[in-house]
């Protein structure tokens, strides 16, 4: 059964299996939290590879009751068709007092796992789609109105831009603003900048921009001047991915209209004037097929970082260096 993200109230108490898929991690997190609010129990988290490598152990833990004496909630991250048989067999068994939530990435229409959940009225399937600028702007406006906080549309655009379209980051920044704004009717641009640490993150954005522009000397200088740690790695990766997706969108438009100035000036959300020149260089170097390959590589790097967190800084910096040094053969 397919439900939209705003239809979570339609989920029955008797529902055991839930599938959420898509690349909107922030929206999936919000939906999962809403499901958790309605279900009390101890949470157990699994990675997909754990189910693949130790399937019998997973079944035994569920069916024996050793871990599941009362209401329990199982969250399986990075789910895909690789565990289709595991989940299908589990559905066929008689299990009670358990809620199972599958957190998946992109599942194509031909996905067996997606099809299984879409066609069975006792299973819940919730697709999550990427947020666009307008959606995020409405989210911010709704949040600020509820909290009786006033900021300009320009500052709303600024928050969206520097949150890289990530709802998790966006929600964190909005909570900072909420806590700061107590006893204040209006927040200035300077205060917004300070709250969301934009001045500190400038070097990070500049790092990715120069890497994508193939400016190897500047990229190396920024890496040498900043002591990035493991916690920075995911932020760097998300920034890289966000900028790569922006280039892909604009590169496709450029292929159609053949006018780089028109492409940049008509971009939505608008490009900050400080970024236009380096974006021009990036568009001259990257064609759609090559930036698509880069996005695939970034997704692989994200998985690699999560599997080798202690080496995440080394993984991401080596990737950045490699990209800044490699010539693109379009």
Q: CATH no. for residue 88? A: 3.40.50.300
- pLDDT tens digits for range 230-244: 777 887 888 899 899
Instruction: Return the DSSP state at 93.
Output: S
DSSP β-ladder status, 72-79 and 124-127: unpaired
Q: Would you say residue 34 lies in a domain? A: yes
Q: Are residues 231 and 302 in the same domain?
A: yes
Minimal CA–CA distance to 59: which of 25, 32, 83, 24? 83
Q: Are residues 141 and 228 in the same domain?
A: no
Q: Are residues 137 and 109 in the same domain?
A: no
- pLDDT tens digits for range 299-318: 999 889 888 888 999 999 99
Kindly state the average pLDDT of the residues 137-147: 90
Instruction: Return the DSSP state at 122.
Output: T
Answering whether pTM is above 0.75, one says no
53 pLDDT more than 60: yes
Alpha-carbon distance 192 to 195, whole Å? Answer: 5
Of 97, 127, 157, at which residue does a domain stop?
Answer: 127
Six-digit token pair at 263?
């492409």
Minimal CA–CA distance to 170: which of 202, 190, 151, 195? 195
Neighbours of 273 (CB within 10 A): 7
Using DSSP's 3-state secondary structure scheme, residue 183 falls into coil
CA distances from 43 to 11, 56, 78, 130 (A): 19, 20, 17, 27
Q: Are residues 188 and 228 in the same domain?
A: no
What pLDDT is attached to residue 70?
63
Q: Would you say residue 330 lies in a domain? A: no
Domain that holds residue 152: 133-196
Could you give the percent of the chain with pLDDT greater than 90?
44
Q: Are residues 316 and 233 in the same domain?
A: yes
Q: Are residues 265 and 299 in the same domain?
A: yes
Neighbours of 318 (CB within 10 A): 12
Q: Are residues 13 and 120 in the same domain?
A: yes
What pLDDT is attached to residue 213?
94
Six-digit token pair at 173?
């920044």
Of 196, 222, 239, at which residue does a domain stop?
Answer: 196
Q: Are residues 14 and 113 in the same domain?
A: yes
Of 176, 196, 216, at which residue does a domain stop?
Answer: 196
What pLDDT is attached to residue 198?
47
Alpha-carbon distance 120 to 124, whole Å? Answer: 8
Kindly state the average pLDDT of the residues 93-104: 87
Q: Are residues 54 and 75 in the same domain?
A: yes
Q: Are residues 117 and 27 in the same domain?
A: yes
Minimal CA–CA distance to 107: which of 127, 87, 89? 127
Alpha-carbon distance 320 to 223, whole Å? Answer: 9
Q: Are residues 113 and 137 in the same domain?
A: no
Instruction: Return the DSSP state at 8.
Output: G
Greater model confidence, 101 or 96 = 101
168 pLDDT more than 50: yes
Q: Which of 65-79, 104-118, 137-151 has the lowest mean pLDDT?
A: 65-79
Q: Would you say residue 275 lies in a domain? A: yes
- CATH number, domain of 168, equals 1.10.8
Q: Are residues 181 and 254 in the same domain?
A: no
Q: Would you say residue 165 lies in a domain? A: yes
How many separate domains does the chain show? 3
Q: Could you tell me if 241 and 210 are in contact, meaning their C-beta atoms sit under 8 angstroms apart?
A: no
């Amino acid at each position: 059964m397919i439900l939209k993200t705003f239809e979570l109230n339609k989920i029955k108490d008797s529902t055991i299996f839930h599938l959420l898929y898509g690349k909107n991690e922030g929206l999936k997190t919000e939906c999962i939290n809403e499901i958790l609010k309605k279900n009390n129990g101890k949470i157990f988290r699994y990675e997909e590879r754990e189910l693949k490598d130790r399937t019998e152990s997973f079944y035994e833990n569920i069916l024996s009751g050793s871990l599941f004496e009362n209401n329990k909630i199982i969250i399986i991250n990075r789910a895909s068709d690789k565990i289709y048989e595991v989940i299908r067999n589990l559905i066929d068994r008689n299990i009670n007092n358990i809620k199972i939530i599958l957190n998946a990435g992109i599942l194509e229409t031909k996905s067996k796992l997606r099809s299984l959940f879409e066609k069975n009225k006792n299973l819940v399937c919730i697709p999550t789609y990427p947020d666009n600028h307008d959606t995020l702007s409405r989210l911010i406006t709704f949040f600020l109105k509820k909290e009786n906080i006033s900021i300009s549309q320009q500052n709303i655009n600024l928050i969206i831009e520097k949150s890289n379209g990530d709802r998790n980051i966006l929600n964190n920044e909005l909570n900072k603003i909420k806590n700061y704004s107590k006893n204040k009717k209006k927040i200035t641009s300077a205060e917004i900048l300070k709250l969301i640490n934009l001045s500190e993150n400038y070097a990070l954005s500049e790092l990715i921009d120069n890497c994508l522009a193939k400016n190897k000397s500047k990229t190396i200088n920024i890496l040498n001047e900043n002591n990035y740690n493991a916690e920075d790695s995911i932020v760097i990766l998300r920034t890289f991915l966000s900028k790569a997706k922006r280039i892909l969108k604009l590169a496709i438009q450029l292929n159609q209209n053949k006018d780089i100035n028109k492409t940049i000036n008509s971009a939505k959300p608008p490009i900050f004037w400080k970024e236009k020149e380096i974006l021009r260089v990036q568009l001259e170097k990257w064609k759609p097929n090559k930036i698509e390959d880069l996005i695939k590589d970034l997704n692989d790097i994200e998985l690699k970082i999560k599997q080798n967190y202690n080496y995440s800084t080394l993984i991401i910096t080596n990737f950045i260096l490699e990209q800044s040094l490699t010539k693109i053969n379009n």
